[in-house]
Chain A
Amino acid sequence: MNLDNAQQTFIEESRELLAAMEDALLTLETTPSDADAINAVFRAMHTIKGAAGLFGLDHIVGFTHVAESLMDRVRDGEIAVDDTLIALLLGCRDHISSMMDAVDAGEESTSEDMLTTGMGLVASLEVYLGHPSEDGDATESPSAPSGSHTPAPTTDATGVENVTWHVSVRFDQELLRNGFDPLSFVRYLGTLGDLVHVEVIADAMPSGEEMDAEACYLGFEMRLAGDLTKGDIEDAFEFVQSDCTLRILPPNSQLGAYLDLIQDLPEDTVRLGEILVACGTLTERELEEGLRIQAGGAGASEEMSDDQPIQPLGEILVEREVVQQELVDAALDKQRRTRDAKTREARVIRVDAAKLDELINLVGELVIAGSAAETLARRSRNRTLVEANTTIGGLVESIRDSALRLRMVEIGETFNRFRRVVRDVSQELGKDIDLVITGAETELDKSVVEKIGDPLMHLVRNAMDHGLESTERRIKAGKPAKGTLRLNAYHESGSIVIEIADDGGGLDRARILAKAQERGLVQPGQSLNDHEIDNLIFEPGFSTAEQVTNLSGRGVGMDVVRRNIDALRGIISLDSNPGQGTRVTIRLPLTLAIIDGFLVGVGEGAYIIPLDCVVECMKCDPAETRCQDYINLRGQVLPFLRLRDLFGIEGSPPRRQNIVVIQYAGQRVGLVVDHLLGEFQTVIKPLGRLLDHLRGLFGGSTILGGGEVAMILDVQELIRIAVQRDAGAHAETAASNQTDLV
């Protein structure tokens, strides 16, 4: 463990924060005043800024600092959220994300492009921040500017001017005895910003004998310059929160706020006025004016005191309320932030994914050992033992499910990423597109979720780019001007189904067919149904240069999407209705780790077929299967594969073989096996390198209760082999076969 690890943690955390920030910004698009969302954006900037500092990532500190300052003002209600601001902040989010990527990649310096982007964004942010107008007194430099003791301010020189906070603090007398040194807090503030002036308040210190040398009597009035937030200043005193009275006045506070401060403090008014003037917080003139207004206000209200007797300070009170509201808000906000953080900590535990994998692996072994024990128990015919084993079996199953559920995550998070993509791309394309997400709570294995992002991204972009028509064309076609893109997910028989649907123009079949013929994917004269034509776009080599735009292009075709899905033991298909839209359906296994299997014997070996895919089993009629590769199953052609032949198993088959009918994605194939051995729950172990040559037929291996290895059949691949072989034969003798069968 070293700081590199810590930096990795920082990068991961930042990515999470940036994701939360994006969600919050998108929420703000619909509800611009959502306080939680505003806070989330602020928190992301604040936390990343803080953490980046430790790792010396000054460029990130500098950039997030500007964004944080802006969000601070938004929190205070000084700046309103509008679409332009959201767009700008989304840009900032992306920029920080790229800076983070560069850090992750170990890049030492910032690229030109990134610098330019950063500078552009900072310039836009500063337009929002504006520059408070110069007061006369602020330009007069104080007689004792902060000396060499002040460590270099963390902010750059441009931000410092005239952004001056007033910090007033009094401490509990026990503070020193508790090991705290107020001077250290003052020094710490000096590292946050520029301590323009510090005034020591020793009024509370008794003289001579009465003074307790170990008690704390000093208070401080400070003027602190720098682009900081109220939270930054409060944080400096976090350890003595309950042992001090802290008052913070934001830059350019109303005069009334200072008068209020003077009233609140224990020292006498005239003396405090002098102190504030000494700090440079107020000018003589302002103080006089303030005191005069205060006196005058009191007098005025006395005259008309009948209806408003409790409002002696007139206008000043209003101003004071504003300020107090700010302070109250800040305090509440801080409380809420700590509470949020605490509940989040309590709800979520971070676990290394490798540990989870190990657990799931062990649970797999447990499942297998459990099966073995159950077989033995049954063989013993000891009823109590069988019962005990059944109980254990039930528990093992629950543990398996819980263990797998640990790794299950909702797909919503993945879907939500597309809100941003759709928003950006629709703007870029000048199309008006609505994204409708359903089934966001559908869960699937984290290992699957991690790999599904890229293919989904491609499909979503493709739908926006090619699927949905331009607004003019939609209106002309009598459709709503706004296009709709739907992302949906649901569970279906042990799989998760993900749909990407648009209400666009559908696929241009004539063009696809022409292109497929041109590329030699389809032979001239070969007749294909609509569904087959539509799915040609997943064929390798179909994607062409002319199809590539800057959006869905990037040289990646739909064939790559299919390859990705295949690798997940999934299947992708497409339905298109001309003029009405296109729907891509992806079907994926819920988990890559454990399956319920159906155990069959072929020759000496045992093989497992995923139970989800098994439709039925039947006796194999040697008369019907001797010289053809298909049977008539209730009037339907069912092609079958002889596993003995496929695996090259020598010797003669037993007299009575069985056919297992398997189905995947609507296609059925029969497998001829020697024995049916029953259902078996199993853990998929990846094929080792030694068995690499078997890849294609098998999706993995597993260990049976007795210790022997069983291969798991790759159903998808078997169906492909059968269908391909069948298609070859089918094309030649299509007509005659039909008549033969009936």
Chain B
Amino acid sequence: MSKTIMIVDDSASVRQVVTIALKGAGYDVVDACDGKDALTKLDGRKIHLIISDVNMPNMDGITFVKQVKAHPSYKFTPVIMLTTESATDKKQRGQEAGAKAWIVKPFQPQQMLGAVSKLVLP
């Protein structure tokens, strides 16, 4: 049974690359374009890992992670945040919100796959 990963990013191209890369590696992928969309798409389904952008319309990544960490069914789900640079302040807030793993954008698909496979193998 392959593991399911959720990618949350407002950039369609990022979602696309991440999805192609993850599916290629054998994961199932659910994608969402912002925090709000992601929360509705969680919908009780099993998610093994969440990859989320920080800056998004409607609901940003930090708020989204806080919601995830407050949700009884998802509070222990690992979250990798995508950040454009080492914005320490944001990183700190993200850490407090519960995201412990970070990938700096722009990233190579294999970097992302490497990070993902440390947390969840397909």
Q: Does A136 have its Cβ within 8 Å of any Cβ on chain B?
A: no
Q: Give the docked Cα–Cα distance between A593 and B13 (Å).
A: 33
28 A–B contact pairs at CB < 8 A?
A: A1-B13, A3-B17, A3-B21, A3-B24, A3-B109, A6-B108, A50-B114, A53-B110, A54-B113, A178-B78, A178-B100, A179-B77, A179-B98, A179-B100, A180-B100, A184-B118, A184-B120, A184-B121, A185-B118, A191-B117, A191-B121, A235-B118, A238-B118, A239-B100, A239-B115, A239-B119, A342-B86, A345-B85
Q: A50-B114, A177-B76 are in contact. Are A184 and B119 (CB under 8 A)?
A: yes
B24 surroundings in chain A (CB, below 8 A): 3
> What separation, in Å, do the CA atoms of A6 and B117 have in the docked complex?
19
Q: Chain B residues near A55: list those with CB within 8 A.
A: 110
Q: How far is the CB of B107 from chain A (nearest CB, A)?
A: 10
Which residues from B are CB-within-8-Å of A398?
none
Contact with A along B92-120 (1 / 0, CB 8 A): 00000010110000001110011101111
B16 in complex: contacting residue of A2, A151, A181, A185, CB < 8 Å: A2
Q: Is B16 in contact with A180, judged by CB distance below 8 angstroms?
A: no
Q: Nearest residue in B to A13 (C-beta to C-beta)?
A: B108
Q: Are B20 and A3 in contact (CB under 8 A)?
A: yes
- In the bound complex, do residue B17 and residue A178 qualify as a contact, i.e. CB atoms below 8 Å apart? no
Q: Contacting B76 at CB < 8 Å: which of A6, A54, A179, A237? A: A179
CB distance from B118 to the nearest CB of A (A): 5
Chain B residues with CB under 8 Å of A342's CB are 86
What residues make up the interface of A, taking CB atoms closer than 8 Å to B?
Answer: 1-3, 6, 9-10, 50-51, 53-55, 151, 176-181, 184-185, 187-188, 191, 235-240, 342, 345
A184's nearest neighbour on chain B, judged by CB, is B119
A44, B63: Cα distance in complex, Å:
39
Give every chain A residue within 8 A of B76 (Cβ-Cβ): 176-177, 179
Shortest beta-carbon distance, A353 to chain B, in Å?
17
User: In the assembly, what is the distance between CA of A191 and CA of B113, in Å?
Assistant: 13
Beta-carbon nearest neighbor of A342 in chain B: B86
Contacts of A176 in B (CB 8 A): 76
Which of B78, B85, B115 sits near A179, CB closer than 8 Å? B78
Chain A binding site: helix, strand, loop or mixed by DSSP?
helix
- Size band of the B side of the interface? 20 to 34
Instruction: Judge whether B118 and A2 touch: CB under 8 Å.
Output: no
In the assembled complex, the Cα of A3 lies from the Cα of B21 at a distance in Å of 8
Residues of A within 8 A of B86 (CB): 342
Question: Distance (Å) between the CB of B91 and the closest chain A CB?
Answer: 13
If the complex has contacts A50-B114, A188-B118, are A179 and B79 also in contact, measured as CB distance less than 8 A? Answer: yes
Q: Is the CB of B113 within 8 A of A1?
A: no
A191 to B118 CA separation, bound complex (whole angstroms): 10
- Report Cα–Cα, A191/B122, bound state, in Å: 12
A240 to B108, alpha carbons, bound, how many Å? 21
**Residues of chain B lying within 8 A (CB to CB) of residue A188:** 117-118, 121
**Chain B nearest Cβ from A493, distance in angstroms:** 42
Chain B residues within an 8 Å CB radius of A53: 110
B3 to chain A, nearest CB (A): 10
A467 to B79, CA, bound (A): 64
Cα–Cα distance between A178 and B65 once the two chains are bound (Å): 12
Chain B, residues 4-27, CB within 8 Å of chain A (1/0): the string is 000000000100110011001000
Bound form: Cα–Cα A176–B108 in Å: 28
**Alpha-carbon distance A188/B118, docked complex (angstroms):** 5
A2 x B119 contact (CB < 8 A): no
Chain A-chain B contacts (Cβ-Cβ < 8 Å), number:
69
Q: A3-B17, A178-B100, A179-B76 are in contact. Are A51 and B121 (CB under 8 A)?
A: no
Closest 3 CB pairs of A and B: A54-B110, A179-B78, A239-B101
Chain A residues with CB under 8 A of B121: 151, 184, 187-188, 191
A50 touches B110 (CB 8 A): yes
Residues of B22-74 at the interface with A, using a CB-CB cut-off of 8 Å, are: 24
B102 to chain A, nearest CB (A): 8
Tell me how far the C-beta of A43 lies from the nearest C-beta in chain B, rounded to whole angstroms.
14
Complex interface: chain A residues within 8 A of B119 (CB): 180-181, 184, 239
Kindly provide the distance from the CB of A3 to the nearest chain B CB, expressed in whole angstroms.
6
Q: Which residue of A lies closest to B95 (CB)?
A: A178
Which chain A residue has the least Cβ–Cβ distance from B50? A179
Most buried by B among A3, A55, A179, A342: A179
Looking at the assembled complex, report how far the CB atom of B17 sits from the nearest CB atom of chain A, in whole angstroms. Answer: 6
Nearest CB of A to B18, in Å: 11
Do residues A178 and B98 form an inter-chain contact, with CB atoms below 8 A?
yes
Please tell me if the beta carbons of B17 and A1 are within 8 angstroms of each other in the complex.
Answer: yes
Q: Which residue of B lies closest to A3 (CB)?
A: B20
Give complex CA distance A342, B87 in Å: 12
**Distance (Å) between the CB of B26 and the closest chain A CB?**
10
Q: Is the CB of A51 within 8 A of B100?
A: no
Q: Which residue of chain A has its CB nearest to the CB of B118?
A: A188
CA gap between A191 and B78 in the complex, in Å: 20
Indicate if the CB atoms of A2 and B17 lie closer than 8 Å: yes
A10 to B85, CA, bound (A): 20
Expressed in whole angstroms, the minimum distance between the Cβ of A613 and any Cβ of chain B is: 45
A133 to B70, CA, bound (A): 55
Contact with A along B79-91 (1 / 0, CB 8 A): 1000001100000
Q: Which of B16, B21, B100, B118 has its CB near the most chain A CB atoms (within 10 A)? A: B118
- Which residues on B sit within 8 Å (CB–CB) of A184? 118-121
User: Within the complex, what minimum Cβ distance (angstroms) separates B19 from chain A?
Assistant: 11
Q: Are A10 and B108 in contact (CB under 8 A)?
A: yes
Q: Which residues of A contact B16 (CB under 8 A)?
A: 1-2
Q: Is the CB of A6 within 8 A of B118?
A: no
Give the CA-CA distance A342 to B24 in the complex, in Å.
30
A366 to chain B, nearest CB (A): 30
Query: Given A2-B16, A179-B77, is A236 in contact with B118 using a C-beta cutoff of 8 Å?
Result: yes
Residue of B nearest to A5 (CB): B17
Known pairs A6-B109, A184-B119, A191-B121 / 9 extra A-B pairs, C-beta < 8 Å: A1-B13, A1-B16, A50-B110, A51-B110, A178-B98, A179-B78, A184-B121, A238-B115, A342-B86
Q: Collect the chain B residues with CB atoms within 8 Å of residue A177's CB.
A: 76
Chain A residues with CB below 8 A from B13, complex form: 1
**In contact, A9 and B108 (Cβ under 8 angstroms):** yes
Distance, CA A141 to CA B17, complexed state (A)? 43
| Complex: chain A residue closest to B110, CB-CB | A54
Across the two chains, which residue of chain B brings its CB closest to A178?
Answer: B100
**How far apart are A257's CB and chain B's nearest CB, in angstroms?**
26
- Contact (Cβ within 8 A) A51 B108: yes
Indicate which residue in A2, A54, A235, A237 contacts B108 across the interface (CB closer than 8 Å).
A54
Considering the complex, give the chain B residue whose CB is closest to the CB of A350.
B106
With a CB–CB cut-off of 8 A, which chain A residues contact B21? 3, 54
Chain A residue contacts of B98, Cβ below 8 A: 178-179
Which of B20, B21, B110 lies at the interface centre, i.e. has the most chain A CB atoms within 10 A of its CB? B110
Evaluate contact between A6 and B79: CB separation under 8 angstroms.
Answer: no
Residues of B within 8 A of A237 (CB): 118
* C-alpha spacing A1/B85, complex, angstroms: 21
Q: How far is A151 from B26 in the complex, measured between Cα atoms in Å?
A: 13
Give the residue name and chain of the B residue nearest to A341 (CB). Answer: B104
Q: Which residues in A have their C-beta under 8 angstroms from that of B101?
A: 239
Measured between beta carbons, the chain B residues less than 8 angstroms from A50 are 110, 114
Nearest opposing residue in chain B for A238, CB measure: B118
A180 touching B78 in the complex, CB below 8 Å, given contacts A191-B121, A342-B86: yes
- List residues of chain B with CB within 8 A of the CB of A2: 16-17, 20
Using A50-B114, A176-B76, A342-B86 as known contacts, say yes or no to A6 and B17 having CB atoms under 8 A apart: yes
**Shortest Cβ gap from A322 to chain B (Å):** 30
By beta carbon, the residue of chain A nearest B122 is: A151
